[in-house]
Amino acid sequence: MHKRKLGNSNLEVSALGLGCMGMSMSYGLPMEKPAAIALIRAAVERGVTFFDTAEVYGPFVNEELVGEALAPFRGQVVIATKFGFNIDPGKRLQSGLNSRPEHIRQVAEASLKRLKVDAIDLFYQHRVDPEVPIEDVAGAVKALIAQGKVKHFGLSEPGVQTVRRAHAVQPVTAIQSEYSLWWREPEQELLPALEELGIGFVPFSPLGKGFLTGAIDENTQFVSTDFRNVVPRFNAEARKANLAVVEPLRRIAARRQVTPAQIALAWLLAQKPWIVPIPGTTKLNRLDENNAAADLQLSAADLQEIEQAVSQISLQGERYPEALLKMVGR
């Protein structure tokens, strides 16, 4: 597996990471713990060194899973986790945003225990909290870095001005936001700002929540607990229309003798050398399929063909329900 550095930081990780959320929630039924541990360890054996989790995934159970799975590989891997929500410990339910400095400190201590580490490699604010100045958030993480409890600071789904303000207090190593061939908004303002500031970019949902694999169409049925049931872009009508974006991927994949998912990931990797996508999966064969994309070099002609085809497509449906849309880009 090739390595990449996140921006100007010294944080070097595998060119593709592994998003672990779906092992515990959001996409279908949670994995059995032994199978999930085996999958995470298989990723390490295949050269993956970057793993993404958060206290709110589960809540708590995904951090515990990642901590147990990666315990034998301390010092060889990078674990990213996140703070920024209130969680009722009894009900294990998320109940609103909270990035107050004292809460950030509490989350850091709890995450350290669940992850079984002495320091959190990359600590993201999960969503920008409008009630807490970002300077206070950055300052709290800066203090944790000074104490040796956190190594790097990140933000998830922030607006560009928030990034600039945070970076002025504590250098930001990475921004995590959705980015793929079916959500390209980061190209407008965010990517130019990150390039200017020397900040790495970690796209989540790099396969469009599975859509860019070509395995989903208007007839696909999701289990009742699947998050995609409430995503407007995944209603049956939108799925039917949005299949247009998969067609050029299928065409190039057939020519290159690879899969549409590998084309989609290779396209992301080709955008900037400081981009590290974190596709998630619950299946070993999909892990291998995704990882192979790190070795796939798209030609200039391939990239031009994708650009010409996709730029003419108007994708249908919002990427989040309305309540979640209000929490991004602030």
CA separation for the pair 110, 115 (Å, rounded)? 9
Yes or no: say if 111 and 63 are a contact pair by the CB < 8 Å rule: yes
Active-site hit among 57, 124, 179, 320: 57
* Rounded Cα–Cα distance for residues 107 and 201 (Å): 23
CA distances from 88 to 60, 92, 102, 253 (A): 11, 5, 16, 46
**DSSP string over 2-17:** -EEE-TTSS-EEESS-
Strands 93-97 and 85-88: antiparallel
Q: 10 Å Cβ neighbour count for 60?
A: 18
DSSP labels, 167-230 = HHHS-EEEEEEE-BTTB-GGGTTHHHHHHHHT-EEEEESTTTTTGGGT---TT----TT-GGGG
Structure tokens at 53: 């989790």
Would residue 57 show up in a list of annotated catalytic residues for this protein? yes
Neighbours of 325 (CB within 10 A): 12
Q: Within 10 A of 314 (CB to CB), how many other CB atoms are there?
A: 8
Sign of CA dihedral 179, 185, 186, 192: positive
Residues known to be catalytic: 57
